[in-house]
Structure 1
């Protein structure tokens, strides 16, 4: 009799299989609630949260500022590279007709996109304007400057070795006393940029590690403050994934908000320096203007900040959550 009752009970039991769609919606709802609750917890403690976010923002703003500086420095370098010119200084014995004939020959070559003939009088006047000697040059008995020809190579001669080879070739032409290529200082400038970029990369890596440590320590304190709560929910069967999720979202919000604030800081610096940089460029007769943070880089900065915050929270939770067991 009892066996038949047991069989009846077993046969009357029904199984219910949760559909994937329902599980997905349930998980999505849970993630949304945890994300909102984590953000609200940060906003409920504005003093402590603001201090942490400011430190993180400064750590993220420094690499972004380095990037902005390097972008503008490289833009200046590229404009100089595009404006590299050669100067051919003719021998003192060259006559004006001979200089004009050489100018005509060079003007027929395809290596140059711009050729300018500079006479002796024009050269002296230019020297007067840029040297600052002024009327003192009038005491010269004769014009000591030779005829010169300024040449601007085409864009195909962008490599420094090609430019040097072309300058060497031009120096062998008749009546040419010297062929000067103003590119050595650009090489030095680019070398300084390379060193600066390496230093900026190293500093950025160190600051990224600092962000990980700061977020990890912040999450560790949050875990310790909720130690008793974690023990209770572990007693009722909560999984580590369920307990871990709010702390991961907290790290995500810390990183994202700090990155947003860092982007704002860099843009403020850009606005403050833009006018001064424009005035400096005008002194050198240049139309250069500062380049701000590109939208793609701003989005990348937000993504990096969120990822660093999430990673720091993950390492901290993974380490400290195991130490909390229900008593």
Structure 2
């Protein structure tokens, strides 16, 4: 009886799986899914993260490119010096034009008509006649002796004129016409009329040489800008050649970066900042060279102005113009590096 019960219990424990209650397939799948570790979906980086990564790479390239230039100071200094000389030449011409404009600033507003009188002229009657002319604002009479004294004062040739037997200068009548009488062809008409007077030996209008000076200044300024354009092209060529050599020296590194998925923009950044540093350094050197040149000629210019009783002082670039020159150099360096890197990086592709 006992053996029968033990056998029954063993048969019950050893029952086949088919005899047990089966769990549904959906329940088992759910249970297996819960036991597996959760797999996170791979999400694309957000725009803010991409922007932060780009900014970090830009900052890193700024520092690394500067360190590369400092690591080879002789080559970097020579390249910057060549670019600086190209920037100095038009800068010096523009500084000279600005100083001449400053020197002649007070002349444009007071054109004078000078009448050199004959020896037999009667100044009183001529002055009365011209005083009634509505085109004449004011007039000043200088006798021959007064004209000689004024010439000696402003020319500094008193020792020379003292040896002359007689006064070679004539009496002078200085007229200041109204500006309305000097517009267009009216100036030439007034000059012709004054020249036709019987008491006048020669009539000279100061506006003529002022206009010539203005045209010379315009020509000089335009020539300076054209020279600056040509030398800017030369700076671009110098930077382009320097960046080309830098790209060739790092060809294997560029190939590796492109193999791992680096874009041309990513590879281009260190070379762009290298060109930027070259240009900025050249701009600073050019500003210093211009100031040195101005300082070297400032003494003789001041002594020459003193001889003509003038308070003129030679001006240099100034702070704003110096900063502008540095920015122009940096822009040229960046542009030259961009042109060179765009061209040469396309030729480097992993095989």
> What are the within-5 Å matches in structure 2 for residues 171-182 of structure 1?
171=195, 175-176=199-200, 178-182=202-206
Radius of gyration: which is bigger?
Answer: 2
Worse-matched range after superposition: 190-199 or 222-231: 190-199
Equivalent residue number for residue 232 of structure 1: 256
RCO (CA 8 Å, sep 6+): is it higher in 1 or 2?
1
* Count of residues paired in the alignment: 315
Distance 1:160 1:291, change over 3 A: farther
Q: Contact (CA 8 Å) 2:99, 2:315: kept in 1 or not?
A: yes
Q: Contact (CA 8 Å) 1:171, 1:177: kept in 2 or not?
A: yes
Provide the TM-score with structure 2 as the length reference. 0.77
Q: Contact (CA 8 Å) 2:259, 2:350: kept in 1 or not?
A: yes
Equivalent residue number for residue 78 of structure 2: 51
State the shift of 1:254 in Å.
Answer: 0.6
Q: Contact (CA 8 Å) 2:69, 2:76: kept in 1 or not?
A: yes
> Paired residue for 2:280, among 250, 253, 256?
256
State whether structure 2 residue 246 is matched by structure 1 residue 219.
no
Distance, in Å, in 1 between the alignment partners of 2:135 and 2:207 is: 21
> Paired residue for 1:165, among 164, 189, 195?
189
Worse-matched range after superposition: 282-291 or 94-103: 94-103
- Alignment RMSD: 3.2
Distance, in Å, in 1 between the alignment partners of 2:169 and 2:40 is: 109
The SS at the match of 2:241 is: helix
> What are the within-5 Å matches in structure 2 for residues 260-275 of structure 1?
260-275=284-299
Unpaired stretches in structure 2, ≥5 consecutive residues: 1-24
Equivalent residue number for residue 292 of structure 1: 316
> Paired residue for 2:50, among 20, 23, 38?
23
State the shift of 1:279 in Å.
Answer: 0.6
The SS at the match of 1:290 is: coil
Distance 1:270 1:123, change over 3 A: closer
State the shift of 1:228 in Å.
Answer: 0.9
